[in-house]
Amino acid sequence: MNIGFDAKRAYHNGTGLGHYSRTLIHSLAEYYPEHQYYLFNTKATALFQLTRTNLHEILPISLLHKIFPSAWRSSWVKNDLRRLKIDLYHGLSNEIPIDLHHVGTKSIVTIHDLIFERFPEQYTRIDAAIYRKKFQYACKHADKIIAISRQTKKDIIEFYQTPEERISVCYQSCNPAFGKHVTQEEKKKVKEMYNLPDQFFLYVGSVIERKNLLNICKAMFLLRDEMDIPLVVIGDGKKYKQQVKDYILQNSLEKKIIFLSENPGAKKSEQFQTAIDFPAIYQSAIALIYPSFFEGFGIPVLEALWSRLPVITSNVSCLPEAGGDASYYVNPSNAEEIAEGMKKIYRDIPFTTELKEKGWQHAQKFTQYKCADAVMEVYKSLKV
């Protein structure tokens, strides 16, 4: 088959959608080399590279398409699909081109979450309206829908009344680098590069209300006299981040909360911007603290499990799917529960050792091969 992908996020996005796209594309190309994979990218970049003999980057050709790359991606790309004889097109990030069925190309869309439907107050009215239009269109017109968790499948059915039989749950994997042992020498080098403390808890994710950094900071305040262990934050934000910083300042936690994304070394480091150094940071931490109120899947949880890093996460949404029996679960609204989990993992060595081993075993359910194979089965079901 000639399989096309909306690869904008794969080439340009350093967060969840980008990681999902790159990991899936690499996995399919490796485990199913008999197919050719065409990556439709709105503009050239050196940020992320996807190179294999069966991967082909496709850029806008005409001047008009280069001037209006968004229009090319959402509609005009159909001419290129026809020209390249693309059998199947996969929209990796919640959308597909308009009227794709007119080209004769089968279509699949991955829906990651419908968080804007559940928490519309956390989005501008215009953004929510745009997302709704794109997501609804994709769910109505794609030949098949991939949901990255049972929670997302449930939401697609609830909000868009999509027939259940059109939706397949295909879990995602993560960069295999997280599963590789990082040497003490490498960890020391990364710690020195970013001026990291010897011991720290870790938060990874955008600094937005839904991901709940404020309650982690409240847990840090509760622990201020019991543990002198800082929290390292990887991620950035705007209005909510300022709210978190105000709390930190008001409660004298400036030395306890380290915003690594503001570190001068991190800002300059391509290895930080492309997450190459993240496995070393994960494997240097005490635990990942991820008490999000709602997720599509929660890829940092999986990255931590592969890293043999204990996880404290929420007992709601899809997070028990991601963490299985290998994570410590808390009520995300309860800072006391988060603090208790942090104390438990720091002090109870036998418990923590068992959690690390369970985490590694649970992570084996999300290997690159298993995740790629599940997606390929969806492709084959279309009988292209």
Average pLDDT in the chain:
93
Q: How far apart are CA 144 and CA 289, in angstroms?
A: 35
Residue 107 structure tokens: 């279509």
Q: How far apart are CA 96 and CA 336, in angstroms?
A: 44
pLDDT digits (tens, 9 = 90+) for 73-110: 999 999 999 999 999 999 999 999 999 988 889 999 99
With CA atoms as reference, report the closest residue to 340 among 282, 284, 283, 291: 291
From the CA atom positions of the chain, what is the Rg in Å?
21
Examine the pLDDT at 18 and tell me if it is beyond 90. no
Interior/surface letters 333-342, b for 16+ CB within 10 angstroms, e for the rest: eebebbbbbb
pLDDT of residue 384: 67
**Local structure of 293: helix, strand or coil:** coil
Taking residues 258-283, report their average pLDDT.
Answer: 90
Q: How far apart are CA 233 and CA 206, in angstroms?
A: 9
DSSP for 14-60 reads: -SHHHHHHHHHHHHHHHH-TTSEEEEE-SS--SSS----TTEEEE--
Which one-letter amino acid corresponds to residue 331?
N
Taking residues 136-141, report their average pLDDT.
Answer: 96
Strands (E), 158-290: 167-169, 201-204, 231-234, 257-259, 288-290
pLDDT digits (tens, 9 = 90+) for 171-219: 988 888 898 999 999 999 999 999 999 999 999 999 999 999 999 999 9
Examine the pLDDT at 343 and tell me if it is beyond 70. yes
pLDDT of residue 319: 93
pLDDT digits (tens, 9 = 90+) for 273-323: 888 999 999 999 999 999 999 998 888 999 999 999 999 999 998 899 999
pLDDT of residue 80: 95
pLDDT of residue 47: 80
pLDDT digits (tens, 9 = 90+) for 214-254: 999 999 999 999 999 999 999 999 999 999 999 999 999 99
Domains of the chain (ranges plus CATH)?
2-173+368-381 (3.40.50.2000), 176-366 (3.40.50.2000)
DSSP for residue 315:
S
Reported as a pLDDT band with limits 50, 70 and 90, residue 144 is very high
